Amino acid sequence: MISITELEKNELLKILESGVTLGADEKQELADLVEKMNKRKVIENHPYAISVIQIDGKPYYTTYVADDSKKDGRRKISAQKREHLENKIYEDYKQKTTLTFDMVCKEWLKAHKSEVKPQSFQRLMTDYNRFIPKCSFAKKPIKSIEALQVREYLQKTIIDEKLSEQAYKNLKTILRGTFAHAVEHKYILTNPMRDLTVSTVNLAKPKKKAREEVVFTIKERDLLRNYITKDSENYTDTAPYAILLSFQLGLRVGELVALKWSDISKGTIHIQRQEVIYDVYDDDLNKTKSSVHEIVEYTKTQAGERILPLTPEAKRILDKIKEWNTTHKLKSDFIFVNASNHNFNRQRINTCLYSYCEKVDIIKKSSHKIRRSVISSLLDNLANKKAVQEFAGHENIETTFNSYYKNISDDDDLITGMCACL
């Protein structure tokens, strides 16, 4: 809140409510009053104490202002009179707060880049490009943006962009990060996002997909498995085996292509890494590389690291992969490798799967739908739902249930195998 005296408040109201055209003197009077109020607000919220020291027997008023060029992030200023020191504080504030919201947002992104995983930063950049360039206050000085403007922008964007709950959260992440950065660097004194409430009744409701879009049915699964098995003479690599193994393990495709032979031990397989895909940005936030595929030594979530039992069929498929690699003189720590001995990425798996979907004349579905199918089958047939959650590598049971489609499978060798192991 701006702290002004009742006299100042009355003077301002009198001018604003007069209803007459303001002359040059009145305009100047109004500008001076607003400036006085703004200065008082800055001084009241100045984060550093004002002290009095003696220099050559004379009193000097001293304090600090934020300065990122200094080692401790602040710079000392002083003046013989308190009024002069307050003027210095206010001028420093005005100089810093000519920054627009977009400028501060980019500054925050640059600072944040080294603090998050590359794929997380890519999501931030995607959301930045989607929302910020056309944000109503993107080019406005960040110091002038108030909570009402932010609320109006968010409510309008929810409707105009038909935002989902997740997209709305992503947008708020950018706004909150930018304003928090501005407060931290003393560009603004208060965060307009603090205690801000926005109605979310107009958020787009998620569309429920049809069964054939969500999972592979029993018939589709059997068609694929039978065709792929009989097509072994036409294999050019082990991607078809990856599809078959996926129907047994229900892994995320990024986990599947990151598997190593050393992960297998005593009838189990250790899921402990994944492939990530991200774009690379330079220090000026320009994209330099697109679609970098990288194997990292961590899983999507903490719960993602898990040890899964191998069904008899999974063991048979792994033996076939080892036989293929040996026959073609492929040597790698990774289970799935191409003719050049390089592990192939998730795109190779999906390309292969789409091709087989066409061959057996079913709707094209990604490898993720195999995962959903496996989880669905287990949920339908296993009483221990907690065990299914752990098998899926989900952090909570709600995620697991959101992944399943009821009664997809009644009798299945996967179920038989898993029931014996889980």
CA–CA gap between residue 65 and residue 107 (Å, rounded): 19
Q: Digits of tens for pLDDT over the chain (422 positions)?
A: 334 455 555 565 565 556 556 667 766 777 777 788 888 888 888 888 999 988 888 889 999 988 767 778 788 999 989 999 999 988 887 776 678 999 999 999 999 998 999 999 999 999 999 999 999 999 998 988 999 999 999 999 999 999 999 999 999 999 999 999 999 888 888 899 988 999 999 999 877 766 667 889 889 999 999 999 999 999 999 999 999 999 999 999 999 999 999 999 989 999 999 999 999 998 889 888 878 999 999 999 899 999 999 999 999 999 999 999 999 999 999 999 998 889 999 999 999 999 999 999 999 999 999 999 999 888 887 768 888 889 989 988 888 777 666 666 554 555 555 555 55
Pairing relation of β-strands 268-271 and 264-265?
Answer: antiparallel
pLDDT at 20: 56
Choose the CATH number for 213-421 among 1.20.1250.20, 1.10.443.10, 3.40.1190.20, 1.10.3720.10. Answer: 1.10.443.10
Torsion over CA: 122, 126, 127, 131 (sign): positive
Does the structural domain 101-184 have CATH classification 1.10.150? yes
pTM (predicted TM-score):
0.71
How distant, in Å, are the alpha carbons of 47, 169, 258, 345 from that of 342? 56, 38, 11, 9
CA–CA gap between residue 402 and residue 81 (Å, rounded): 66
pLDDT at 387: 87
How distant, in Å, are the alpha carbons of 74, 324, 336 from that of 184? 12, 58, 48
Return the amino acid letter for 347.
Answer: Q
- What CA dihedral angle connects 201, 169, 365 and 321, to 10 degrees? -150
Torsion over CA: 286, 291, 292, 298 (sign): positive
Q: Which residues contact 80 (CB under 8 A, 6 or more apart)?
A: 58, 59, 60, 61
Domain with CATH 1.10.443.10 in the chain: 213-421
Q: With CA atoms as reference, report the closest residue to 260 among 281, 249, 274, 247.
A: 274
For residue 306 the two structure tokens come to 């898990």
pLDDT at 129: 95
Q: How many CA atoms lie within 13 A of 152 on its CB side?
A: 7
Domain with CATH 1.10.150 in the chain: 101-184
pLDDT at 127: 96
pLDDT at 143: 86
Q: With CA atoms as reference, report the closest residue to 280 among 296, 269, 265, 293.
A: 293
